[in-house]
Amino acid sequence: MAMLLAGGVGSRLNILASKRAKPAIPYGGIYRIIDFTMSNITNTNIDVVGILTQYKPLSLMEHLDNGRPWDLFGRTRLVEILPPKTGEEIFDWYKGTSDAVYQNLGFIEDFSPEYVLVVSGDHIYYMNYNFLWTFHKEKKAEVTICLIRVPEDQAHNFGIAVTDEYSRIVDWEEKPKRPKSNLASMGIYMFKMNVLREALREAARIGGTDFARHVMPIMLRNNRVFGFEFKDYWRDVGTIDAYWNANMDIIRPNAGLNIEAWQIKTNLSVKGEIGDRPSTYFSRICRVLNSLISRGCIIEGTVRNSILSPGVKIGKDATICDSVIFHDVTIGPNSLVNKAIIDKNVVIGKAVQIGIGRSVPNQKFPDQLFTDITMIGKNAKIAPDIQIGKNCIINPNVNLMGINVIESGITV
């Protein structure tokens, strides 16, 4: 069985995660980030999944719909939403990844699994977990961690493993300042059930709450821990730049991301999202180049190297470049949107220019927004003729009017 960690705050994604859980953030037009892990689970024929939710879970719960879109619903197939047990004296909130699983040991034990797969709901990748399971058994492992090689200058952002010639993990560091290798944890773990139970209980006794920081050191002392090296496409979309790039990978040749071949499923029946949309309308004068266009769009301008979700309206002579546009955004005539992420239901007036001017990191969030991406929050309204620079943030529900220019790096 699988336990899926889907309670992340996603604070580095800024306004994209201000109203929704990180795994529920839209991706690739019609999908949510969590669709990839859910599809991997069902494509591997795992029948029971516990979804550990916490932060702003309502949109995520509505999207998951008890597992129906992934055929995880019925007498022998189950998706169970497992929020924190609020109201109990000790278990008010999940304090970390391992604490979330520890609090739900009773749920896991009800199914008497021999193996438990623990996965995260906020990565973009395709994996058949049966290969991981086979590796786990062949190595007679008690714990197997999925690893992937990352650029050496990024290794300090991950849990890092050192393995021997037999793939056994001999050293482990969580986000080290000077990494000993570039084999990074993907946040995917295969456990023997009895080993998981003992390690979680020992970690809880000493106040441990996190798999990477607290449970792994215990297991390295007591158990046979191996690393399964994954060599295909995988992206941690935990930052704005990584999220934008993962969307652009859909339309980049040879990026390694192939949603159709991976058989990624999503919930098509959420009201107003996808399933009840009409076909997209392309006017005679529009131009669309190297872009992904969802159902229900109306395009009268130019769209280049961009991802459009359902219901987006592009006015006459408007130009959209290198951007990710969420559901039901309206962009007025003669407007320019350059390298932006625009959340749902935004209305942009005529002759607006977004993503222009000099490159200046965002003044309020310089560590989050510095690659010239401008972000417009959900339900914002941008009056005509306004110019907005690079690395800007327009917060949700802002009604932007009476301003001619917003310089690069400004947050409104």
Task: Specify the pLDDT at position 92.
Answer: 61
pLDDT single digits (tens) 321-376: 999 999 999 999 999 999 999 999 999 999 999 999 999 999 999 999 999 999 99
Task: Count Cβ atoms within 10 A of the Cβ of residue 147 and give its class: 0-12 exposed, 13-18 middle, 19 or more buried.
Answer: buried
Instruction: Quickly list H helices, 129-252.
Output: 129-138, 193-205, 216-222, 240-248
How far is residue 270 CA from its own chain's centroid? 19
Helix (H) or strand (E) holding 125: strand 123-125
Q: For residues 34 and 163, give the distance between their C-alpha atoms in angstroms, rounded to a whole number.
A: 30
Q: For residues 412 and 399, give the distance between their C-alpha atoms in angstroms, rounded to a whole number.
A: 10
pLDDT single digits (tens) 52-68: 988 777 888 888 888 88
Instruction: Please state which of the ranges 94-98, 136-140, 195-199, 228-232 shows the lowest mean pLDDT.
Output: 94-98
Query: Which of residues 275 and 83 earns the better pLDDT score?
Result: 83
Give me the torsion for CA of 114, 118, 123, 128, rounded to 10°: -10
Best CA proximity match to 68, nearest among 56, 57, 77, 81: 77
Backbone angles phi and psi of 76, in degrees to 5: -115, 0
SS3 content of the chain, % helix, strand, coil (to 5): 25, 30, 50
DSSP state letters, 390-404: SS-EE-TT-EE-S-S
For residues 216-240, give the mean pLDDT. 93
Q: How high does pLDDT run on average in the chain?
A: 92
Task: Specify the pLDDT at position 70.
Answer: 92
Pairing type for strands 336-338 and 319-321 reads parallel
What six digits make up the tokens of 366?
A: 């310089």
Kindly report the pTM of this predicted structure: 0.93
Task: Specify the pLDDT at position 39.
Answer: 96
DSSP state letters, 41-105: HHHTT--EEEEE--SS-HHHHHHHGGGGGGT--SSS-EEEEE---TTSSS-SS--SHHHHHHTTH
Buried b (16+ CB within 10 A) or exposed e, 45-68: ebbbbbbbbbbbbebbbebbeebe
Is the pLDDT reported for residue 298 higher than 80? yes
Beta carbons within 8 Å of 55's beta carbon, 6+ residues apart: 7, 8, 9, 10, 21, 22
Q: For residues 339 and 220, give the distance between their C-alpha atoms in angstroms, rounded to a whole number.
A: 45
Mind listing the domains of the chain with CATH numbers? 2-262 (3.90.550.10), 281-406 (2.160.10.10)
Best CA proximity match to 373, nearest among 309, 321, 301: 321
Query: Which of residues 407 and 90 earns the better pLDDT score?
Result: 407
Task: Specify the pLDDT at position 374.
Answer: 98
Q: For residues 258 and 250, give the distance between their C-alpha atoms in angstroms, rounded to a whole number.
A: 7
